[in-house]
Amino acid sequence: MFGFISRNILTGLITILPIVLTVYLLYWFGVTAEEFLGGLIKSLFSDSYYWPGMGMVIGLAGLFAIGVLMHAYVVRLIFKKIEGLILHMPVVKPVYRAIRDFFDYFNPNKEQDFNQVVSIEMADTGMKVIGFITQPLSTELPDGYNDEGNVLVYLPLSYMIGGYTVLVPRDNVKPVDMTIEEAMRFTLTAGVASRENTKK
């Protein structure tokens, strides 16, 4: 009886938690943007220029503008310079890199960086791992590794930040009928997120 109750409570929690966290994240963003940017508008201008919700609107517009500007080469170059400074800070570096790598999984431009979802067979064990071809051109590989039969494959780690980049013979790589987003979610959750769920 206790097991039945606990299983249903856990099922309810798993069902409702993603919705609650999503709503809370949106609420947190709205409140934070409204308090900070709305307060900034009030301090710089009179209250007559402010209306409720202005801070959140400006915050969304700012995020949109940053997204658009990141397509410009000069802006990307400036961002890399700033990021380079952050990555040279002893304490900040590991924290920033972990957060950046985590959110990079959900980057809508990620598909531009990966060319194909593939599976690699582990020797003669019959086991296969899912990965992403990151460099199909042998001419772009370092000297000594740029053999025509090699491709560079990224193997993400489930429930962890990071992964492995391995050099694999082209014959040992088999295409998988999955989109980048499906494969990312599938590997990141160790298969807990089924393919049907990733399509929703």
> What digits encode the pLDDT tens for the residues 22-51?
888 888 888 888 888 888 887 877 777 778
**Residue 80 pLDDT grade (very low, low, confident, very high; cuts 50, 70, 90):** confident
Q: Can you give the pLDDT at residue 93?
A: 83
**Residue 147 pLDDT grade (very low, low, confident, very high; cuts 50, 70, 90):** low
Does residue 67 carry a pLDDT above 70?
yes
pLDDT exceeding 70 applies to what percent of the chain? 76
Enter the pTM of the model.
0.46
Measured CA distances, 61 to 32, 54, 66, 67 (Å): 15, 10, 9, 10
Does residue 1 carry a pLDDT above 70?
no
All structural domains of the chain: 2-104 (no CATH), 110-198 (2.30.30)
Q: Can you give the pLDDT at residue 9?
A: 82
Three-state helix/strand/coil letters over 96-153 = HHHHHHHHHCCCCCHHHHCCEEEEEECCCCCCEEEEEEEECCHHHCCCCCCCCCEEEE
